[in-house]
Amino acid sequence: MKTIIKAPPRRKPQSAGATTNRPGNPATGKRLPYGLADCVIFLAIAIPLLIAMCATGRPGA
């Protein structure tokens, strides 16, 4: 039985105009996904919940 050796796929050469134009600064055009109010609401819920879970947990578990 013959061994079939497959060559890696050939890639088409890209022209200079087809390259992706990326901004010089990667942070350009990005904004924070959450606002200050969202962060405050999250902390207002998460901190008491974390304290409650620690207070009701079994010691040594």
| pLDDT, tens digit, 9 for 90 and up, residues 1-44 | 677 888 877 777 665 555 666 666 666 667 778 889 999 999 99
The pLDDT of residue 13: 65
Q: Which two tokens stand for residue 6?
A: 């497959």
- The separation between CA 14 and the C-alpha centre of its own chain, rounded to angstroms, equals 29
pLDDT at 11: 76
pLDDT value for 56: 86
Determine the pLDDT at residue 42.
Answer: 95
Alpha carbon distance 18, 12 (integer Å): 12
Q: Assign 56 to helix, strand or coil.
A: helix
What's the pTM? 0.43
Q: Is the pLDDT of residue 52 over 70?
A: yes
**Residues in CB range of 23: below 8 A, 6 or more apart:** 29
Q: CA angle, corner 37, sides to 35 and 38, nearest 5?
A: 65
